[in-house]
């Protein structure tokens, strides 16, 4: 990798090597503002096929029988397959799989943590109190799930009692998310909350330390911020969240 923008071919080779050596799922880097804007403008963006093994992070992915797990590469087929997923224990307790809301053509993709009770009941992500706040936050930068945002979660099924996602559940479920991102091809990703931010940045750090920068998720600019549910508990994070959304808007506008 040279200074400045990463060379997609080198990134692809590095990813392949990491797979071969059994390293963790993601290779990411922090971008400075001009690199992020350049990615957002489509300059130097590695295509999914260049930068990725086609099955996503396949060193850690396997189907129920222990073989390689390759989620379908076509959006409707992906959704249909995910809706009947039994890859982890959460399948037993769910009412339904919560796959997404918004348009797969959206410019912005929001990735939350996991469905709660309302989402499990309705089949749509972020429909409870946290969801209402998310909608307001998005509206503050002229975005909406109806027109411009695609919303989904790291986990597609509700953890019992809304407990935190477990690492094996994230591992089992994340191939769906990686493929969703690959197919939706958002211009910018917004990860809300620790689990989503850590998974997509590949960094095991507190959210307060992660936020405030633009990352690259496989060539797509990625901004991370507090989960709206956390914001409901701690209004002190509002200013930082506002500034993260401005950062997102700036990347989207190329300014």
Of the two residues 6 and 125, which places its CB atom closer to ligand URA in the complex?
A: 125
Site for ligand URA in 166-195 (CB under 6 A): 193
Of the two residues 6 and 193, which places its CB atom closer to ligand URA in the complex?
A: 193
Annotate each residue in 50-89 with x if it binds ligand URA (CB under 6 A) or - if it does not, as one string: ----------------------------------------
Rounded to whole angstroms, how far apart are CA atoms 215 and 200?
9
CB of 112 to ligand URA, least distance (A): 3
Give φ, ψ of 21 to 5 degrees: -90, 5
Alpha helix ranges (H) inside the chain: 8-20, 33-40, 48-51, 75-83, 90-93, 117-122, 129-139, 167-184, 194-201, 207-210, 228-233, 238-253
The answer to whether the beta carbons of residues 93 and 173 sit under 8 Å apart is no
Annotate each residue in 208-237 with x if it binds ligand URA (CB under 6 A) or - if it does not, as one string: ---------------------x--------
DSSP, collapsed to helix, strand or coil, labels residue 5 as coil
Rounded to whole angstroms, how far apart are CA atoms 159 and 120?
10
Determine the size of the site formed for ligand URA (CB under 6 A). 13
Rounded to whole angstroms, how far apart are CA atoms 118 and 123?
8
CB of 167 to ligand URA, least distance (A): 17
CB of 224 to ligand URA, least distance (A): 13
CB of 173 to ligand URA, least distance (A): 13
Rounded to whole angstroms, how far apart are CA atoms 166 and 143?
31
CA-CA-CA-CA torsion sign (136, 197, 153, 176): positive
The answer to whether the beta carbons of residues 214 and 36 sit under 8 Å apart is yes
Of the two residues 40 and 85, which places its CB atom closer to ligand URA in the complex?
A: 85
Of the two residues 39 and 113, which places its CB atom closer to ligand URA in the complex?
A: 113
Site for ligand URA in 97-126 (CB under 6 A): 112-116, 119, 125-126
Of the two residues 153 and 174, which places its CB atom closer to ligand URA in the complex?
A: 153
CB of 130 to ligand URA, least distance (A): 5
Rounded to whole angstroms, how far apart are CA atoms 119 and 141?
24
Of the two residues 27 and 153, which places its CB atom closer to ligand URA in the complex?
A: 153
Of the two residues 56 and 193, which places its CB atom closer to ligand URA in the complex?
A: 193
Residues that bind ligand URA (CB under 6 A): 112-116, 119, 125-126, 130-131, 153, 193, 229
């Amino acid at each position: 990798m040279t200074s400045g923008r990463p060379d997609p071919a080198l990134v692809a080779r590095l990813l392949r090597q990491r797979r071969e050596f059994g390293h963790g799922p993601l290779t990411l880097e922090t971008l400075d503002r001009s690199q992020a804007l350049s990615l957002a403008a489509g300059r130097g963006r590695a295509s999914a096929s260049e930068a990725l093994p086609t099955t996503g992070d396949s060193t850690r992915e396997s189907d129920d029988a222990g073989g390689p797990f390759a989620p379908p590469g076509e959006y409707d087929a992906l959704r249909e397959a995910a809706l009947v997923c039994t890859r982890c224990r959460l399948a037993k307790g769910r009412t339904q799989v919560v796959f997404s809301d918004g348009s797969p053509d959206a410019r912005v993709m929001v990735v939350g943590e996991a469905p709660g009770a309302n989402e499990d009941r309705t089949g749509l992500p972020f429909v409870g109190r946290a969801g209402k706040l998310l909608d307001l936050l998005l509206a503050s930068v002229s975005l909406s799930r109806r027109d411009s945002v695609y919303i989904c979660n790291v986990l597609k099924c509700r953890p019992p009692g809304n407990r935190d996602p477990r690492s094996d559940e994230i591992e089992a479920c994340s191939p769906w998310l990686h493929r969703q991102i690959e197919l939706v091809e958002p211009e910018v990703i917004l990860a809300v909350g620790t689990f989503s931010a850590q998974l997509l940045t590949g960094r095991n750090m507190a959210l307060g330390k992660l936020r405030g920068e633009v990352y690259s998720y496989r060539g797509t600019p990625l901004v991370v911020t507090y989960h709206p549910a956390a914001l409901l508990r701690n209004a002190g994070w509002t200013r930082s969240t506002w500034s993260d959304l401005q950062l997102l808007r700036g990347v989207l506008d190329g300014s």
